[in-house]
Structure 1
Amino acid sequence: MLRHKDRIARMTLEEKIQLCSGASTWTTKAMPQHGIPSLFLADGPHGLRKQVSEQGDHLGIHASQPATCFPTASAVASTWDLDLVREMGEALGKEAVQQGINVLLGPGVNMKRNPLCGRNFEYFSEDPYLAGKMAAAWIQGVQSQGVGVSLKHFALNNQELHRMSTDVLVDERALREYYLPAFEIAVQEAQPTTIMCAYNKVEGTYCSDHRRLLTEILREEWGFDGVVVTDWGAMNDRVAAFRAGCDLEMPGSKGRFDEQVRQAVQRGELDEAAIDACVDRILTLIERTTGADPAALPPDLYERHHQLARKVAAAGAVLLKNDGPLLPLAPDASVAVIGELARTPRYQGAGSSQVVPTRLESLLDGVRQYVPAVPFAPGYTLKDEPNEALVEEAVRLARRVETVILCIGLTPAYEGEGFDRPHMR
């Protein structure tokens, strides 16, 4: 049963086809003649990446508006705290309302099947139960503010290498016990407004064309009643996608698919009812994500959220061993900080989730709140080039103190969207 039967009946076939593809990188089409506004979709999931210039992109290349940069999903999952994750989701929803965003593209619940995956920082866990429960809490928080989400990337998008052409072959038990449960938990507990289909193929069929995934499993088995949107540029065959239950193509193909779809309907190869169903779900999405009032938000919103981000980061930190006990350090301890990442922090991965933070405090900034004159040596560069002079300087500093706070990690060259790490070194 269509929820918007009368409005759909007033639309032409061409208008209905057009509504099912984006108007720009981040917006859907408005049709004022039918009372249909445009929606603004923006990247997440650990902060907003709203781009307002004409140089919008889905790879984190061009600038975006500042927003609170919360810890990435890899750190958030280490909190094991659903209430805190829900509170983080509420904060993200409020910022989305403040910035005029209707749908926040997240969270990501793909399994960390391989530790080399370049996008693991953006996924919660290698455990499907933990990932599903975290995602459900995050979704509940965001959607409590009248903002939509996009659970992603459905499905089996577990590597970045060749992600747009990979064909994933999987047996039914692995599919049901490992790759799908996080999606299933999130759908059944939180009913996300949208789900984003992945780039890859599954058993020879692209996810955008995959009726078994998008209709039989997602809608008929799990009861999902929202919109299926493509990952950006993931549409393969628009006629097959309509049959499969893929509602919204983003960012749109500038009408390239529209004529193919129209002719398929006229030839009897595509039932117009399949298009009507997609339009109906898009109209429902508009109803669910356009009622929030930014005037109701507090003026110190971002300061509050900065403190919440700090709380989440602390809750997600993992102390492997307190030997001695070494920690907490005494206020008068003989301490030095070593490592360029202490001064220039790596607090998120590269790619579509890259946030421009409203505030940024490094580890070195934090230590200097307690020991203003704490000595520091970079020890290395972030260009992955050996520098013996920096190493020798760090060694000399380490010899002068009793305790070294050593800050090490990966540079952007090793971890980001679109590529996998070549090794574990």
Structure 2
Amino acid sequence: DFANADVDDIVEKLTTDEAILLTAGVGFWHTHEIARLGIPAVKVSDGPNGIRGNHFFMSTPAKCLPSATALGATWDTELIEEVGLKLLAGEAKLRAAPVILAPTCNIQRNPLGGRAFESFSEDPLLSDLIAAAYVKGVQKGGIGTSIKHFVCNDKEEDRMAYDSILSERALREIYLMPFMHAQKYAKPWCFMTSYIHILTSGDSPGVQEKQAHTASSNS
């Protein structure tokens, strides 16, 4: 039973090519199988406010939760944990998806952001609390979470190409906090990374200006 396998032992036995395969999917919704080591392909499903399955535009009917922003506005961690356990985990099992691609723990920098509704709040503390409750609830139901998008993916436009330039203090006190809190208190099974390049500046305006100029020149 692979669910009870020794992960460290499995990782030791992976070849470089096999390890690379596991970082890329078969399409959007499945991981690669590594038959030699008994690693099965894993089906994943969106998403942050309901288990919509593995299609973008022809999804099957599913229960639709209020947006993550509305869930965050409750400030009710017990309710969010119950939603994860009784609704999200159950729906994922019906779709044979052992991992859901949620929650989104980015910070709502702008209400016009294309996917701001997927995030819980503009406030890192509220995001911390709700993210951890969401992860705990879903995973108590035997379904894994993939917390995303790590980190600073707070703008949808050109999200595969832009740089985020910020101080290390801002990075640690605002943008990393929901991920750090969820990892410490809820242990999500997976992390989904962002595409962006993060440039930290210490707190030096001169360094930041130089980095911004360099980024602009390279774009």
1:87 aligned onto 2:91: no
One-letter amino acid of the structure 1 residue matched with residue 182 of structure 2: A
- Unaligned runs of 5+ residues in structure 2 are 1-5, 201-219
Go from structure 1 to structure 2 and tell me whether the alpha carbon gap of 1:86 and 1:33 turns closer, same or farther (over 3 Å shift).
same
Shift of 1:16: 4.0
State the match for 1:188 in structure 2.
184
SS in 1 for 2:122: coil
Match of 1:5 among 5, 9, 33: 9
SS in 2 for 1:158: coil
Go from structure 1 to structure 2 and tell me whether the alpha carbon gap of 1:45 and 1:97 turns closer, same or farther (over 3 Å shift).
same
* Identity within the alignment, %: 41
State the match for 2:30 in structure 1.
27
State the match for 1:148 in structure 2.
144
Shift of 1:49: 1.9
1:18 aligned onto 2:14: no
Tell me which of the two structures has the higher relative contact order, counting C-alpha pairs closer than 8 angstroms and 6 or more residues apart.
1
In 2, Cα distance between the equivalents of 1:7 and 1:85?
Answer: 34
Please say if residues 10 and 37 of structure 2, whose CA atoms lie closer than 8 Å, have aligned partners that are also in contact: no
Please say if residues 108 and 122 of structure 1, whose CA atoms lie closer than 8 Å, have aligned partners that are also in contact: yes
In 2, Cα distance between the equivalents of 1:196 and 1:19?
Answer: 13
State the match for 1:71 in structure 2.
66
Match of 1:165 among 158, 161, 170: 161
Shift of 1:31: 3.0
SS in 1 for 2:147: strand
Shift of 1:88: 0.7
SS in 2 for 1:146: coil
In 2, Cα distance between the equivalents of 1:16 and 1:195?
Answer: 16
1:103 aligned onto 2:81: no
In 1, Cα distance between the equivalents of 2:91 and 2:156?
Answer: 29
In 2, Cα distance between the equivalents of 1:132 and 1:6?
Answer: 32
State the match for 1:220 in structure 2.
none
In 1, Cα distance between the equivalents of 2:158 and 2:16?
Answer: 36
State the match for 2:44 in structure 1.
41
State the match for 2:111 in structure 1.
115
- After superposition, what is the alpha-carbon deviation per residue over 1:42-73, rounded to whole angstroms, capped at 9, x for unaligned? 1111101212xxxx4xxx3x211221111111
Go from structure 1 to structure 2 and tell me whether the alpha carbon gap of 1:12 and 1:202 turns closer, same or farther (over 3 Å shift).
closer
- Unaligned runs of 5+ residues in structure 1 are 205-425
- After superposition, what is the alpha-carbon deviation per residue over 1:289-310, rounded to whole angstroms, capped at 9, x for unaligned? xxxxxxxxxxxxxxxxxxxxxx
Go from structure 1 to structure 2 and tell me whether the alpha carbon gap of 1:200 and 1:13 turns closer, same or farther (over 3 Å shift).
closer
State the match for 1:133 in structure 2.
129
- Greater fraction strand: 2
Structure 1's consecutive aligned runs of 4 or more residues displaced over 4 angstroms after TM superposition are none
Go from structure 1 to structure 2 and tell me whether the alpha carbon gap of 1:179 and 1:39 turns closer, same or farther (over 3 Å shift).
same
Residues paired across the two proteins, number: 194
Go from structure 1 to structure 2 and tell me whether the alpha carbon gap of 1:47 and 1:190 turns closer, same or farther (over 3 Å shift).
same
Shift of 1:120: 1.4
In 2, Cα distance between the equivalents of 1:142 and 1:180?
Answer: 21
Higher Cα radius of gyration: 1
SS in 2 for 1:139: helix
SS in 1 for 2:31: coil
In 1, Cα distance between the equivalents of 2:107 and 2:171?
Answer: 11
Please say if residues 7 and 34 of structure 1, whose CA atoms lie closer than 8 Å, have aligned partners that are also in contact: no
In 1, Cα distance between the equivalents of 2:103 and 2:91?
Answer: 16
- After superposition, what is the alpha-carbon deviation per residue over 1:308-336, rounded to whole angstroms, capped at 9, x for unaligned? xxxxxxxxxxxxxxxxxxxxxxxxxxxxx
Shift of 1:6: 6.5
- After superposition, what is the alpha-carbon deviation per residue over 1:389-416, rounded to whole angstroms, capped at 9, x for unaligned? xxxxxxxxxxxxxxxxxxxxxxxxxxxx
Go from structure 1 to structure 2 and tell me whether the alpha carbon gap of 1:170 and 1:47 turns closer, same or farther (over 3 Å shift).
same
